[in-house]
Amino acid sequence: MIKVFIADDHPIVLDGLKTAINSFEGKSVVGVASNGEDALRQLDFLKPDILLTDISMPEMNGIDLTREAARRFPLIKVIIMSMHENDAYINNAIQAGAAGYLLKDAEKKEISEAIDLIMEGGKYYSKTVSQILMNGIYNSKNQEGNRKSNQGGLSNRETEVLRLIASGLSNKEIGVKLFLSTRTVDAHRYNIMQKLEAKNTAEMIKAGIKLKLLEF
């Protein structure tokens, strides 16, 4: 029996998913939560095989929940099920450790198939999500040459963080925007300063302008 835990702050969606999954052969919902913090507490003792989670939830969003679940419970496979279908959300989910990404308009059969495939060690992305990922890879390859020439040794994520720092956002605000912990943003800031040989934020921004990573 595959044990599934569901995290979603919409009661109607939660009830619908629970009913659907309990109707699947060999699958059972062992717990539910309406926010990430509660989900983490329950995962600790329920130990499900699959965590099916939304992204937008109070207290702790689904990306942070995925990241924490992957760190604390590596045997639990995470599937994101969300209405968000842009590359930022999808890439953040995958980087956080999600094994699958489904859209909320997925049919029951697709949900069941995704669970089965992921339990066998595979990855599952809905057709729309797969297309978005492929488009992102294609665009990245086309832009790779330009990035290498002017990025100053920064990764794409570090460049993104630098631009948000320059826009005046705090580390906490950047973390919320990029679905990263404040500690991770701190690490990115430190790495940026080291690579740009900057002693403070002002020098970091000045170096970014010089490298044409920032425009003012």
Q: Which residue has the tokens 């308009």?
A: 105
The residue among 214, 91, 202 whose CA lies nearest residue 151 is 214
Tens digit of pLDDT for each residue in 42-83? 999 999 999 999 998 888 899 999 999 999 999 999 999 988
C-alpha–C-alpha distance, residues 83 and 156, integer Å: 25
- Return the percentage of the chain with pLDDT > 70, whole number: 89
Band of residue 211 on the pLDDT scale cut at 50, 70, 90: confident
pLDDT confidence bin for 7, thresholds 50/70/90: very high
- Residue-level pLDDT at 175: 87
Given this model, what pLDDT does residue 148 score?
47
Q: In what order do the strands lie in the sheet with 27-33?
A: 27-33, 2-7, 50-53, 77-82, 100-103, 124-125
Per-residue tokens: 195: 């690579």
With bands split at pLDDT 50, 70 and 90, how would you rate the model's confidence at 5?
Answer: very high
Look at the alpha carbons of 94, 96, 97, 100 in this order and tell me if their dihedral is positive or negative: negative
Tokens of 40: 């983490």
Segment 102-143, tens digit of pLDDT:
998 889 999 999 999 999 998 888 887 877 766 654 445 444
Strand (E) or helix (H) holding 117:
helix 108-119
Q: pLDDT value at position 51?
A: 98
pLDDT of residue 8: 95
- The torsion angle over the Cα atoms of residues 143, 148, 151 and 155, rounded to 10 degrees, is 80
Q: Looking at the predicted structure, is the pLDDT value of residue 153 above 80?
A: no
Q: Which of 29-38, 149-158, 162-171 has the lowest mean pLDDT?
A: 149-158
Q: What percent of the chain has pLDDT over 90?
A: 44
Q: What is the pLDDT of residue 149?
A: 46
Which has the closest alpha carbon to 40: 10, 13, 5?
Answer: 5
Whole-prediction pTM:
0.65
In the predicted model, what is the mean pLDDT of the chain? 86
Give per-residue pLDDT as tens, 9-22.
999 999 999 999 99
pLDDT score recorded for residue 138: 40
